[in-house]
Amino acid sequence: MQRFAMDKLIEWKNNTNRKPLVIMGARQVGKTWLMKEFGKLYYDKVAYISFYNNTSMSRVFEQDYDINRIIYHLFLPDKIATFPFTQEFLYLIFFSVNTDCFHIHPFTAPLTPSA
């Protein structure tokens, strides 16, 4: 199962027309581990943002889904993503959302900052 899931993530990563990915499933089955491992193996930088007891990150998404504003808030000094966002690195940013975050919906636009 682990290899199948990782192969699907690699397939998603290699798709030049990929959209943001939503992984859904029961609690405690390894979704977060899978994404962290995938990020460690295939990306230069990984930002993991959990919405569990994280009202400041939840508020970032209450306004709208403007990617430039969201990225700005992710990289503020007091946030967990402390590396600078530059084009020279391949980034994976993933969000862990629990059922209490009902206002968080999948993005409808690619997660790439505009120039």
pLDDT digits (tens, 9 = 90+) for 85-95: 566 678 787 87
Instruction: Using a cut of 0.75, tell me whether the model's pTM lies above it.
Output: no
pLDDT digits (tens, 9 = 90+) for 17-56: 888 887 877 888 888 899 999 999 998 888 787 877 777 8
Tokens of 115: 């120039």
Q: Among 27-31, 36-40, 60-64, 111-115, which range has the highest average pLDDT?
A: 36-40
User: Where residue 114 falls among pLDDT bands split at 50, 70, 90?
Assistant: very low
DSSP 74-102: HTSTTSS--S---TTS-EEEEEE--TT-T
Q: How is the chain split into domains, by residue range?
A: 2-96
> Mutual orientation of helices 55-63 and 67-74 as an angle, nearest 10°?
160
Q: Please state whether beta strands 91-96 and 45-50 pair in parallel, antiparallel, or not at all (unpaired).
A: parallel
